[in-house]
Structure 1
Amino acid sequence: MPTPAHRYRSDDEDSGRWAGFPFRDGDIVISTRSKSGTTWMQMICALLVLGTPELPAPLTVLSPWLDWLAEPRDAVFDRLAAQPHRRFIKTHTPLDGVPLDPRVHYVVVARHPLDMAVSLYHQAGNLDRVRLAELTGQPAPAEPPRARQPVEQWLPNWVRQEADPRAELDSLPGVMLHLSDAWARRHEPNVELVHYDDLLADLGGEMRRLADRWGIAVPPERWPDLVEAATFGQMRERADRLAPDTLGVLRDRQVFFRQGGSGQGRSLLDSSAQAHYRERTAALAPPDLLRWLHR
C-alpha cells in the first residue's frame, strides 16, 4: 500500500493515525472538508450498507472519525475491527494524506465553498471549546471568546485570507487543495466525487448511483424508506443519534443540522466581493473543476 504523500496535523487531528490501519475489501472512506456533507454521506453509507433506517448505534459510533485526537486510536481501530458489516469511515483529510488501497472505495463530497464557509461560521459558534480542549489534551481557553464579526463581514475576510492550504484546511486555499486533489483522481475506479447540490436535487438518484458503484444490492421495496431517512428534515429530527457528538463537543445537536441549503454564501457577497472570490478560486483550482463546483 503506497505511503500517503502528506501528513496533516492540527490541534484536533492527525492523519498519521491512518498508518497501519488494516483495511478490508469494500471499505468506504468518506473524505470531505468540514461542513460539506460529511454526516449526510455517513448516513447515506449507513443506509446503503445496513439496509435499514434503524441504525444499531449512533452514527458516529458506526462511522468514526479516524483522524480525530479526542478518541484513542487503538479504541477506534478496535471498534472498526469488531464491525461485521462493510465499514464506512470518516476523515477530513485530503486523499493525498490517506493510504490509498485498491480494495477500498473513496468518496469525496464537494460543496460550493461559500456555502460551506457560512456553515463553518455557524458551526464555530456551536462548539464547546473547553470540552474540545479537554478531549484533545490542549490548554483550555484562557479567556471568554470575544464577540464575533457578523457573518456578512466574516465571509469576505475568509475569501481574502492568505493561508497555507496544508496547515489550514478549512481556508479557501485548503478547500481548493482538497477538491483539486480529488478531481485529479476522479477517473480512478475506486474514487467517487459527489456534489452537495446533486444530493439536494436528486437524493434518491445519487443514492442509487453510489449503490451501483459500490456493488450494494438494495431490494426495490426498501428504497423509499432509505431515501426518506437520508433527507435533511429526517436527519434533523434524529439529531441525538446522528450528530457527530458522542463526546459532547456540540452545544446543541439540532443546531448542527442548521439549514443544509445552497446559495446562502453567494447572497452574502456584493458584486465586488463575488468578483474577488472568482479571481481567487481561478488561481487555486483548474477551470473544469470550478465549472463543476460552481454550476
Structure 2
Amino acid sequence: MTPRRYTSVEEDSGRWTRFPFRDGDIVVSTRSKSGTTWMQQICLSLVHGTPDLPAPLSELSPWVDWLVESEESLFARLARQPGRRVLKTHTPLDGVVLDPGASYVVVVRDPLDMAVSMYHQGANLDRQRVAELSGRPVRTPPPRPELPVWLAAWTRAEADPVASTDSLPGVVRHTADACARRGAGNVHVVRYEDLAADLETQMRRLADLLGIAVAASRWPALVDGAGFAAMRAAADRRVPDTRGVLRDPQAFFRRGRPGAGREVLA
C-alpha cells in the first residue's frame, strides 16, 4: 500500500517512499513535543552503548521529512553512517514506508501536556531562519492569546486530523493508528508518562524489543544520560538544531515532567 503523503511548508513525508532502508533501522515517530528528542537519545544510547554520542544528536538521527536539508544530502549522509541508524519523523505511520527489517517506536503523550509544550515552543522558533534554510516564504503565525485561552480553544477545535496533525484530532489519530499496528511485531508504542515515572524499566523494555544487548555495568550511565537534567545540560549537542532554528537551545527542554496541561485547565 502506498503511504499517505503529508506535506507542509517545512515537511514532505514523500521522502520516505525513496528512502533506502537498512536492516536494523529504528524510526522514531511522534507528534510534535511528545518526547521525540528524548526517545532519539534513548535509542541512540542503546545502539552506541553510551550516552556520549560520537556526534550531535540531530546529525546522527535526522528528521527525514524536514525540507531544510536536501534529500540527496540527507540520504548520502545517512548512507555513510555505519551500523544501526535512528531516524526521526513526526509523520503518522500511515505516511511512512513500513520496512520489515526496521523497527518503529511511537511515543504518545497526554495531549494537553503536548499542546502546552507546543505553545511555548512556538515562541522559541526563528521562523526567518527556517524560511532561509527551506527556501520557502516566512511562515508567521497569527498572534496567540494567553495560554489558558489558547489551550481551551485547542481542545474544542474541529480540525481535519490528516491536514492538521498537531490538532487534538490529529494527535489522537496518530496514537490510534500506531496502537492498531502493534500486532505487526516491529511497531512499539511507549507512553511519555511511563518514561517519566520509571525511565530505567522502560529503557530495559525497549532494549529487549529492539534486540539490543546491554551489559549490566552500562545501565546506570545510559539511564542517567537520558534523564532530563543531563539532556538539558548538554542542550548544545542534544537539541534537534544544528542550523540556528531555535532562539534558545536550553529552552527546548522546558519542563520534562507530566501534568502541565491539567495545571492550566481545571
Which residue pairs with 2:218 in the alignment?
Answer: 222
Moved more, 98-107 or 129-138: 129-138
Of 97, 104, 114, which residue of structure 1 is paired with 2:112? 114
Deviation at 1:147, TM superposition (A): 4.9
Task: State the identity %.
Answer: 63
Aligned Cα RMSD in Å?
Answer: 1.2
Which residue pairs with 2:81 in the alignment?
Answer: 83
Deviation at 1:141, TM superposition (A): 5.5
| Aligned-partner Cα distance in 2 for 1:96–1:229 | 32
Any unmatched runs of 5+ in structure 1?
A: 271-295
| The structure with more radius of gyration | 1
TM-score by length of 1: 0.88
Deviations 1:23-82 (A, max 9, x none): 111110000000000000000011000011211110000000000011101111011111
Q: 2:41, 2:51 within 8 Å by CA — same for their partners in 1?
A: no
Q: Within the alignment, does 1:3 sit opposite 2:2 as a pair?
A: yes
Which residue pairs with 2:21 in the alignment?
Answer: 23
| Aligned-partner Cα distance in 2 for 1:126–1:243 | 12
Q: What secondary structure does 2:29 align onto?
A: strand
Which residue pairs with 1:187 in the alignment?
Answer: 183
Of 37, 55, 58, which residue of structure 2 is paired with 1:57? 55
Q: Within the alignment, does 1:174 sit opposite 2:207 as a pair?
A: no
Q: What secondary structure does 1:123 align onto?
A: helix
TM-score by length of 2: 0.97
| Aligned-partner Cα distance in 2 for 1:39–1:112 | 17
Q: What secondary structure does 1:107 align onto?
A: strand
Large movers: runs of 4+ above 2 Å: 145-148
Q: 1:50, 1:85 within 8 Å by CA — same for their partners in 2?
A: no
Q: How does 1:91-102 map to 2 (within 5 A)?
A: 91-102=89-100
Q: What secondary structure does 2:188 align onto?
A: strand
Of 191, 196, 212, which residue of structure 1 is paired with 2:192? 196
Deviation at 1:146, TM superposition (A): 6.3
Q: 1:45, 1:88 within 8 Å by CA — same for their partners in 2?
A: yes
Match for 1:214: what amino acid? L
Which residue pairs with 1:208 in the alignment?
Answer: 204
Deviations 1:75-99 (A, max 9, x none): 1101111111210100000000000
Distance 1:147 1:20, change over 3 A: closer
Any unmatched runs of 5+ in structure 2?
A: none
Q: What secondary structure does 1:187 align onto?
A: helix
Which residue pairs with 2:252 in the alignment?
Answer: 256
Q: 2:13, 2:91 within 8 Å by CA — same for their partners in 1?
A: yes
Deviations 1:221-269 (A, max 9, x none): 0110010000011000000000011111100000000001111101211
Deviation at 1:194, TM superposition (A): 0.1
Match for 2:56: what amino acid? P
Of 228, 235, 238, which residue of structure 2 is paired with 1:239? 235
Q: 1:36, 1:111 within 8 Å by CA — same for their partners in 2?
A: yes
Q: 1:185, 1:191 within 8 Å by CA — same for their partners in 2?
A: yes
| Aligned-partner Cα distance in 2 for 1:20–1:129 | 28
Deviation at 1:186, TM superposition (A): 1.6
Deviations 1:197-239 (A, max 9, x none): 1100110111111111111011110110010000011000000
Aligned residues: 266
Q: Within the alignment, does 1:153 sit opposite 2:152 as a pair?
A: no
Which residue pairs with 1:128 in the alignment?
Answer: 126
